[in-house]
Structure formats: C-alpha cells, structure tokens
Amino acid sequence: MEKFDRLVSIVKTLRAPEGCPWDKEQTFHSLTPYIIEEAYELVEAIKAESFSDIQEELGDILLHVVMLSNMAEEHQQFTIDTVVEDISEKMIRRHPHVFSDVKVHSVEDVWKNWEHIKRQEKNRYMLDSVPSSLPALMHAHKIQKKAARVGFDWNVPEGPLEKIREEIDEIQKALEQNEDKKRVKEEFGDLLFSMVNVARKWNIDPEDALQSSIKKFRTRFEWMEKEVAEHDRDIQRLTPLEWDALWKKAKQQQGVL
C-alpha cells in the first residue's frame, strides 16, 4: 500500500495550485477520450502478449482511476478509499458462492446469480448495465449475452444462421421494391445484429473478427498498390478485371486460394 499511497500523493501534487498546468485544468469530461484510448492500448498489449507493455498500460489506467477519484474528492463526492471499499464489497456481495453458503454447479449458475444480485442492487432493467456508448458490434454482443443468460436464446446453433438468410432476403426485397433508405438501413442493421449472434454462438468476438479482416484487407491492398507502382501503372486507371486479377494475386501471396 505504500507504493499505492505514493501514487495518490503524486496525483494530488500534480493537481495542487503549484502543480502541473495541464493536470490542473483536466476535468471528468476532458479525460474521457484518454480513458478510452488507454483501454484500447491495454487490449493491444494483451493481444501482443507483451507483459512489459501490459504492465505499462495497466499503470496508465490506474493513473486515471486515481486522477478521477482525486477530482471527485476535490468536489467532496468520494475518494479513492471509498472506490476501493465499494468494489471490494461488491465483489463479496456478488460472489455468495465464494464468500457465503450459496451453491453453484456451473459458470452459468454464477452468471445467473450475478445478474439477479445486480438487479436487486440497482432496481433496474437487466440491459441498463450495458453502456450505450460502446462500439456497435461490442454493444450488440454484450446485449445478446445478457439476454441469453436468462434463457432468451436460440435452442440450436443453426438458428442464427437461418436468421441471417432471412435478413438478407429482407434487404433484397427492400431494394427490389425501391424502399426508402431508412427501411434499407433498418434491414441492414438487423443483418449485422444477426451476424453478431452467430459469432456469439460460436464463441467468436465480433470486434476481433472484424479487426482481423480489416488488417487482412489492408495487407492485401497495400500489396496491390506496390505491385501497380512497380509496373509504373496509375492505380486510378485500373479496370475491374485488372483489380480482380490483382486481388487474386494478393491472396496468393498470403497463401489463400
């Protein structure tokens, strides 16, 4: 705790009248984009399995926790001590199978107890705990997982696949009937939502899956750009057939047939 107290003291010094001009002018709202950025940087470090980077990014996130808690203390709202106390009590309260005499037989039982306890604490709808500011794919994934935990789910894994086919038909019908853009947009959203459901049923993170596809596309497109440049061609003057041939060559470079 001595090292943690030192960090708290450092943050208080930075925010003091004689402290850092930048730190002193920060607010809850001004720090929001940095918090999001740090979370993504931590995820990148975890994906890279770089423990030195993970350690650094965890430190950056901890700094924000302490900084925001100090700001709240300045407004006489709460302190870092009450933050730690609150999360400690929450963990004990939501794990009665560990800290009390409640019996569970599976991870599914744990999740059901967790959601039940959370609803009792907050007296709110189950999906309210999912932040609406999340990226859309992550938002859909979390909402579907929440609903599935109380039994609102497909009985067979093929169900979501059939739903995708149904949504594609709906989009095609809307386009053929010259429906307005709002209707087509709605059907397209339903298709994406159904695709996230498929990913969930196969334990695939849709955000990770899409990021992988984006990375793959960028690699192939950059290869095509280099190929065109090496032959002294204007990339804007390529025909559709030439683009198709280049794409196939780019896939072959990655060992994809």
Q: Where are the domains of the chain?
A: 2-93, 99-124, 133-204, 210-253
**pLDDT for 49 beyond 90:** yes
Residue 165 to residue 169: CA distance in whole angstroms: 6
Angle in degrees, CA 180, 182, 187, rounded to 5? 100
**pLDDT for 218 beyond 80:** yes
Going from the C-alpha of 239 to that of each of 24, 173, 233, the distances in angstroms are 57, 30, 12
**pLDDT for 158 beyond 60:** yes
Comparing C-alpha atoms, which of 29, 39, 32 is closest to residue 60?
39
Mean pLDDT in residue range 139-167: 88
2-93 against 133-204: fold identical: yes
Comparing C-alpha atoms, which of 30, 29, 17, 28 is closest to residue 68?
28
**pLDDT for 257 beyond 60:** no
Comparing C-alpha atoms, which of 9, 4, 64 is closest to residue 32?
64
Residues contacting residue 242 through CB under 8 Å, at least 6 positions apart: none
Mean pLDDT in residue range 239-257: 86
Residues contacting residue 126 through CB under 8 Å, at least 6 positions apart: 115, 119, 146, 147, 150
Residue 23 to residue 239: CA distance in whole angstroms: 54
Task: State percent of the chain over pLDDT 70.
Answer: 98
* CATH code that applies to domain 133-204: 1.10.287.1080
**Whether 39 contacts 60, CB under 8 Å:** no
May I ask the CATH architecture of the domain 2-93? Orthogonal Bundle (1.10)
Q: What is the pTM of this model?
A: 0.63
Angle in degrees, CA 148, 151, 157, rounded to 5? 65
> 65 φ, ψ to 5°?
-60, -45
Tell me the per-residue pLDDT of 1-36, one tens digit each, with 9 for 90 and over: 899 999 999 999 999 999 999 999 999 999 998 998
